[in-house]
Amino acid sequence: MAGKKKEVSLQVSISNDEHWGEMLTTKGLTVVDVFQQWCGPCRAVVSLFRKVKNELGDDLLHFAIAEADSIEALEKYRGKCEPTFLFYAGGELVAVLRGANAPLLQKMIVEELAKEKKVLEQDIKRIAVEDDGLIDKEEVQEETEAHQHEEYEEALVPANKSYTMGIMKPDVVAHGKTDEIIMKIQDAGFEILAHEERTLSESEAQEFYQHKAAEPYFQELIRFMSSGPSHVLVISYPEGTDDVISAWQAFLGPADIEEAKREHPESLRAQYGTEDLFNALHGSRDSKEAGRELAFFFPNFGPPEPELAPVERTLALVRPDAARENRDEILARIHEAGFTVAMQKQVTLAEEQVRQFYGQHQDEENFQALLTNMTSGPVLALVLAKQGAVEHWRNLLGPKDPTQAKQEQPNCLRAQFTGESVYVNQLHGSESVEVAEQEISFFFPTECTLAVIKPDTSEELREEILVEVGAAGFTISEQKEMVFSREMAEEFYKQLTDKPFFNQLLDYMCRGPCTMLILSKENAVEEWRTMMGPADPSKAKETAPGSLRARFAKDILENIVHGSSSSQHAQEKIQLIFREISSESQVISTGNDDEPNPLEATESHPTSSEKPLDLPEQREGGNTGEQSPTSDLHAQTSDIVQES
């Protein structure tokens, strides 16, 4: 029987502006892990969140993951891969942490939750912060800093100005106090000549604090200073005051926090420090130390490096001759060039499909040679990800004409990997970011697949799997728990009726609740099967050690998860399990086997000659279907590739 639908209890998945707005209205403290679709949320902190939640047991504490790519408010986090955690309370940002620093993250959760309870219970004012990932004025600040660096190419600090160094330590940066402190520094008459965010490694922190190596707290200091980003400042007075170092030290206050609060309550350390090591800010003690620290943080005295290009995706096609003869070499070159292969598949194209894809080239002299080559065997389709991927991939390919490529760029891919035809190069690359996304959608369309978390899976493990599903970029369109009746299980596994392990499989699937999921994503069927791994856990541990079955499955029968083997089977099983869902509105159909994909008739490339495809897939690698629970039945795997 079907149970009622269930939400992920630890981290709520936020994938659009509506969900973001709902999160902002949640009572209490919400810790949001902001992530990019291409790299996913920070999985390393899930166990920490669960531990904190269990220890505190507080209904006012909530956790969420938010995809920056699809939420307008998080636009300026796009293209950044550093783990970022935003703390929201009462619809306001109250703290920010960058980097997966578990001890500091736990400390901040406890502190911010306590603050929010005081706000709710004592009706005191909530203190909001601003983060440079969300506010436009930071763009102005970054441009100003870049301009300042350009002015000081030969000498960062003008000769007529005395200067000192300041460091805002990881604790105040993590609490989102950077902007507030900078405003106070400037209001006090100081001029900030340079400002840089810097995360120290342990060796860098040891070098910087080598003069404190004999102190008993040295190792704790090193761990703290390398625990997250700091902000490094070069500080002067506009009029070139000689004693800026003494003025800065007085503005900071005593290093001892209790003394600072007692004798200099207006000082920065009194306001922002919490204990001696966590005393918020550092300042040079004399001109010699200021010079050493300036050389440490700004050794080149030059302008900042240009901003990196945004992370992009591009489509790469390896045509049949090269896919057959040079596949591994080409993939090695791709990895050496720093690309990530986000998705891949092999497809065998019919003549009509090639004509559709290269429609505007049909009148060209060499089109027949291209047509013959493209239908001569499987084509390897790849989605490559990298900063500036489109341009980097096209540069790596070289000229389109193989002869020209050999003459002008003999080391490029098109020169080194040639096919039987002298007229057809063996690799394709998208012309632009826009064209790349269109081409990717045709080779790797958004589709749905059915996923099942099988019986006997603990609640904790079930929750962990759901978090990993979200981290892998899947959208959970529908979710419910149900216990299979015998009749339903027989229908679900009807293709295995004649197998000797059929009754044993039914007994297992009917003995407890399953979590039924409709997952949607580009290339969802293959992506989920890859995430599951081979059905035999022993094989999974050898060939896919990071897969779910390698890590969590007991044996071939009790292999923890199920996934459809094709879009057609996914549609059939989704209709069986989620009968109320219309295939037209919820399940993205790929069309009947005898009919072309509807996309072929409706979609076109406004900026490219290439048109969408209805691509029959050539499955790569071994089968991941359901197998016999006994070793003597392993050979029957090929008979049951329909489902896993």
Instruction: Provide the edge-to-edge strand list for the sheet that holds 191-198.
Output: 191-198, 230-236, 164-168, 281-283
Residue of 62, 562, 569, 605 marked catalytic: 562
CA distance 446 to 599: 12
**Helices and strands (H and E) in the chain: how many:** 28, 18
Print the SS3 string covering 458-522: CHHHHHHHHHHHHHCCCEEEEEEEECCCHHHHHHHCHHHCCCCCHHHHHHHHCCCCEEEEEEEEE
- Residues pairing with 474 in the sheet: none
Q: What's the gap between Cα 314 and its chain centre?
A: 17
Asked whether the CA dihedral 88, 92, 94, 98 is positive or negative, the reply is positive
Buried b (16+ CB within 10 A) or exposed e, 451-487: bbbbbebeeeebbbbbbbbbbbbbbbbbbbbbbbeee
244 CB contacts (<8 Å, ≥6 apart)?
Answer: 162, 163, 164, 190, 235, 236, 237
C-alpha angle with apex 151: 146 to 154, nearest 5 degrees?
115
d(CA 552, CA 466): 14
Cα(151)–Cα(128) distance, integer angstroms: 35
In angstroms, the CA 211 to CA 286 distance is 14
Q: Is 129 exposed, middle or buried (0-12, 13-18, 19+ CB in 10 A)?
A: middle
**Both tokens assigned to 151:** 């002015």
Does the annotation mark 562 as catalytic?
A: yes
Residue 345's beta-bridge partner residues? 381
Count of positions (residues) in the chain? 644
**9, 69 in Cβ contact below 8 A?**
no
Are the beta carbons of 205 and 162 closer than 8 angstroms? no
The sheet carrying 617-618 orders its strands as 427-429, 311-318, 379-387, 340-347, 617-618
Amino acid sitting at position 263: E
545: phi then psi, degrees, rounded to nearest 5: -60, -20
8: which residues sit within 8 A by CB, 6+ positions away? 463, 466, 467, 470, 476
Instruction: Provide the token pair at 251.
Output: 């503005």
β strands within 319-472, DSSP E: 340-347, 379-387, 427-429, 446-453
Pairing of strands 92-98, 61-67: unpaired
What token pair was written down for 172? 């105040």
Segment (H or E) for 552: helix 548-552
CA distances, 97 to each of 33, 125, 226, 282, 489 (Å): 10, 22, 14, 20, 47
Instruction: Lay out the sheet containing 11-14: strands in order across.
Output: 11-14, 61-67, 29-35, 84-89, 92-98
Give the catalytic positions in this structure. Answer: 562
